[in-house]
A and B are shown apart, each in its own frame.
Chain A
Amino acid sequence: MSIWRLVIREIRYRRLNFALAVLSVMAAAGCLVTTVTLLRGHDLRTRAILGAREAETADRVRERQEEADRRAAELNESFRKIMLKFGYNLLVLPAGENVVDYQIQGAPSQEMDESAVRTLAESGIMTVRHLLPILQQKQVLVFGDRRQEVFLIGTRGEVPEGLRDPRQPIQPAVAPGGLIVGQDVHRQLGVDVGDKVKVVDAEFTVSKVYEARGTSDDSSVWIDLAAAQRLLGKPGKINGILALSCICTHAELEDIKKEIERILPGTQVRTMVTSATIRYESRVRAAEEAEAQVRLAREQGAADMERERRARENLRGQIEALAAWVVPLVLVAAAAWMALLAFGNVRERTSEIGILRALGLRSRQIFAVFLARAFIVGVAGACLGYGAGFLAASAWREAPPPADLFIPWLPAVVLLLAPALSVLAGWVPAMIAAGRDPAIVLREQ
């Protein structure tokens, strides 16, 4: 026979008292476990929500980035296609040409041999797609009794590059005797296709009217190069070569110019159009817009996350505030209830205490009998309370999986705290039991 056997038998005998005591410990432990586990669940949920929000933001940023990239790529492609047609346009002029005069006059004043075009075409330069020899000079166009000074341009269409297949001429050749007029000339003089006009006493028939280009072309007329050379008294001469649709980047342009000047000594090369700058600016603008979109998406995502985080923190604070008084209240109530039950147990066992003392049990053994009972109550309540509390927390509809909810240190804490609480609540009743005078008990019986 031992104290433990006495305790176990007594517990089996007074099941209701034991069950009620265990229930109170279970309620206290369960309340604690549920609260702590729910807080952990809340934290995990918060982390998951913020993680999802972060992922959403990242997706949105990626989508915006992809959209921006796609638009930039489309823009790039458009410009690439455009530049395939126009590219960088260069003008090869005689070295002696005063470019200021050229800009002011709108036409070159110096000439060079027409053979320069063939030389350039056969040089194998890969970056120049089209070569157009021109002989240009200001002349008066006469249509009936109307006169108009225009840029007369003699051209013979494209000279194909020597090592490549012939391609569609970028500038159609003008048939001998024919003349093409620019849009402003067409409007100013009222000339149209089929009309007869005169230039330096030579008569031409208008074969085509160009659409408006918004350049000096609108004030120009084109005739066959040989006719122009004859008309202007400059046989075998030209005063410019248009190198059109150069396949290169803006950065490579200077190298190409130098290469052409090397192939054609005695010439100078000028860039004619600024489409590359437009292209560059467009790219920058597109990139800036894309960056702004991405930045906006990032800022919106960050703001959303911050708002969500604050809301969750606020909710957690409310749960903590509630738990801060509910949990202690439940613990105190449970302790009081356990103490009452323990007092009842002592009263009920008065006779037993008296005879145990008479049979030689020391007061500390009686104390141990009651404290051991309280300890068992605490352990049983802790186990059941932990299980019930964990199940209750797991039943929360937003609860993460139980494996994630599990807090490794919590069972140990509950297993220490609940028996301690139970023993504490049973301490005074146990002391009263241990201090009972057996003589009084036995005499009263």
Chain B
Amino acid sequence: MTVLDVQNLSKHYRRDGGVVRVLDGVSLSVAAGEFVCVCGPSGCGKTTLLLAAGGLLSPDAGEVAIEGQNPYALAPDNRATLRAEKIGFVFQQFHLVPYLNVLDNVLVPAVARPAEDAARRARELVDHVGLADRIDHVPAELSTGERQRVALARALLNRPRLLLADEPTGNLDEASAVVVLDYLAEFARSGGAVLLVTHDPQAAKYARRTVRMAGGKILQEA
């Protein structure tokens, strides 16, 4: 079953009086249980593709469907709800809330989509990513690897169907990167869909499918 379906996606930015075409007719789909890696050099459009796929960046042309639903056809509030319910994000910079401890950071998605078992599930996720003993620590007290594991747990709180990861290992050492990639692979094995964008060739080894991008286009798929 296709979780993410992107067809002929195009996006351009105006910069310094000119037009930069970041995405140029990109098409891609990720099925449930599939781990897809998009590789390419910096500036090739990977992050723009991920943001557009996540319903955060409206494309100039093309279609995005998340489990058959086009987020850009929805009102902004409904689009936000769609993100809260079906998509999890992991970023290179972690984007943890600095004043919240590990548990509260994991619980942030519950503000958007309250659930009775949110606190219990958050504890389970913290435990699952091996941070039970750091549950009361704030991000400043964690290593970069630990912070990314917190971000991963946060992305999984609302049981998303799609996990979008933007260079999640970019700031990590090799051991930490392996741990994070293992979790992503585990999510895919459990039936989730993972779209990982990275320029780290090592990450591609964990993906079932690897797509190479350059100049806003998909060059090849392996």
Contact = CB atoms under 8 A, between A and B. Distances in A.
A2 B118 CA distance: 12
Contacts of B80: 357, 360-363
A365 B111 contact: yes
A371 to B, nearest CB: 15
A445 B95 contact: yes
B187 interface: no
A2 B56 CA distance: 23
B140 to A, nearest CB: 10
B118 to A, nearest CB: 7
A354 B98 CA distance: 14
B147 interface: no
Contact of B54 (A1, A10, A356, A358): A358
A360 B85 contact: yes
Interface in B139-175: 154, 158, 166
Interface string A334-359: 00000000000000000110111111
A419 B57 CA distance: 36
Interface string A419-445: 000000000000000000011001101
Contacts of A82: none
Contacts of A438: 56
A290 B48 CA distance: 105
B118 A439 contact: no
B108 A439 contact: no
Contact of A1 (B57, B81, B98, B104): B104
A445 B108 contact: no
A365 B112 contact: yes
Contacts of B111: 1-3, 6, 356, 359, 361, 365
A10 B84 CA distance: 22
Contacts of B158: 360
Contacts of A12: 99
B113 interface: yes
Nearest to A361: B112
Given A354-B95, A359-B83, A442 B112 contact: no
Which secondary structure dominates chain B's binding surface? helix
Interface in B18-40: none
B179 interface: no
Interface string A1-20: 11101100110111000000
A5 B119 CA distance: 14
Nearest to A443: B47
B105 to A, nearest CB: 9
A442 B99 contact: no
A359 B100 contact: no
Contacts of A2: 111
A359 B89 contact: yes
Given A5-B104, A358-B56, A14 B99 contact: yes
Interface in B34-64: 47-48, 51, 54, 56-57
B56 A9 contact: no
Contact of B56 (A6, A362, A364, A442): A442
Contact of A445 (B81, B93, B100): B93
B200 to A, nearest CB: 18
Given A355-B97, A443-B51, A360 B109 contact: yes
A10 B47 CA distance: 29
Contacts of B117: none
Contacts of A359: 83-84, 89, 108-109, 111-112, 154
B204 interface: no
Contacts of A363: 76-77, 80
A6 B130 CA distance: 25
Contacts of A358: 54, 56, 83, 89, 95
Contacts of B82: 360
A357 to B, nearest CB: 7
Given A1-B118, A438-B56, A443-B48, A9 B107 contact: no
A439 B98 CA distance: 20
A170 to B, nearest CB: 115
Contacts of A3: 111
Interface in A9-57: 9-10, 12-14
Contacts of B213: none
A443 to B, nearest CB: 6
A442 B97 contact: no
A355 B95 contact: yes
B20 to A, nearest CB: 13
Contacts of A14: 99
A77 B154 CA distance: 108
Contacts of B93: 351, 445
A360 B81 contact: yes
A216 to B, nearest CB: 121
A129 B36 CA distance: 144
B110 interface: yes
Interface in B104-142: 104, 107-113, 118
A443 B81 CA distance: 21
A404 B32 CA distance: 74
B104 A9 contact: yes
A355 B158 CA distance: 15
Contact of B107 (A1, A354, A357, A361): A1
A1, A362, A365, most chain B CB atoms within 10 A = A1
B188 to A, nearest CB: 21
Nearest to B96: A355
Nearest to B22: A443
Interface of A: 1-3, 5-6, 9-10, 12-14, 351-352, 354-365, 438-439, 442-443, 445
11 contacts: A1-B104, A5-B104, A352-B95, A354-B95, A355-B97, A362-B77, A362-B81, A365-B112, A443-B57, A445-B93, A445-B95
